[in-house]
Amino acid sequence: MSGLVDGETIRLIKADSVYSLAWEAACSGVRLADVVNGRLTDEQVNSEGEGWRWLPCIDHPEPARCLVSGTGLTHESSAKNRQAMHTAAEDLTDSMRMYLWGVEGGKPAPGKTGIAPEWFYKGRGEILRGHLEPLTSPAHAEDGGEEAEVAGVYIIDPEGRPRRIGMAQGNEFSDHVHERRNYLYLAESKLRECAIGPELWLNPPFEDVRGEAAIERGGGVVWKQAIRTGEAAMSHSLANIEHHHFKHA
């Protein structure tokens, strides 16, 4: 079931999935929002409906054709955390150098190619979890830690071109104990399961995005922290990140 968020209610859309709507838009050359509006029904449901299972905001009928990947060291805070992990000396680590490369060359002028960000591959579509679904820590993991994210959602159109259809809240899941041993363990520290939210924003502003991440246990908050992302908080532009994500055929 797919729907359009309208305040506290959801207007149902006559469609099998968000992917089918996005594919229809890509094939017809019209905006996804126009496809959605053309398939809206009069039926409404409450967004707090009991017994619902919230699905990730995007999936694929063949999960092996949905790829989950990410970039790192695009925010100063992540670079500082990695710097502290890897050395107590005054010399810069490779992690901090890569971040500073982004500060210098991660926001190129239009039509130019900037420096590549760090990149990692998570897995295929079956690793995605939805809102309120558990993230499972495998037996070999020494730690399971959250990482609040904004996820870009893309499809590849019939001409082989990537198209961003929207953005969603996400939660990365990593073994930070393993990662602290050596920065070369970064990709291996990425535990496979991760989550994206149920709501896909089709054209959100991405200059300055603020929020809060929290961990609740036993009915109380045991940890919380303000988070900030968006291009104003990043060393790479969104266009440069997307270029390097999709520069291979």
Q: Each residue of 10-21: pLDDT tens digit?
A: 999 999 999 999
**Where do the domains of the chain lie, and which CATH numbers do they carry?**
1-52 (no CATH), 53-245 (3.90.850.10)
Q: What's the one-letter identity of residue 193?
A: E
pLDDT of 76 reads 61
| pLDDT tens digit sequence for 146-199 | 999 999 999 999 999 999 999 999 999 999 999 888 878 888 899 999 999 999
pLDDT of 14 reads 95
Distance (Å, whole) CA 186 – CA 95: 11
pLDDT of 99 reads 80
Phi-psi region of 165 (alpha: psi -120 to 50; beta: other; left: phi over 0): alpha
pLDDT of 98 reads 81
What's the whole-model pTM score?
A: 0.87
pLDDT of 197 reads 95
pLDDT band, residue 226 (cuts 50/70/90): very high
Comparing 49-63, 88-102, 179-193, 206-220, the range with the smallest average pLDDT is 88-102
Q: Which helix (H) or strand (E) holds 106?
A: none
pLDDT of 184 reads 80
Mapping DSSP to helix (H, G, I), strand (E, B) and coil, where does residue 100 land?
helix
pLDDT of 56 reads 95
Instruction: Evaluate if residue 117 carries a pLDDT over 90.
Output: no
Instruction: Evaluate if residue 243 carries a pLDDT over 60.
Output: yes
DSSP 222-244: EEEEEEEESGGGBSS-HHHHHHH
Question: Closest by alpha carbon to 122, among 77, 49, 72?
Answer: 72
pLDDT of 81 reads 63
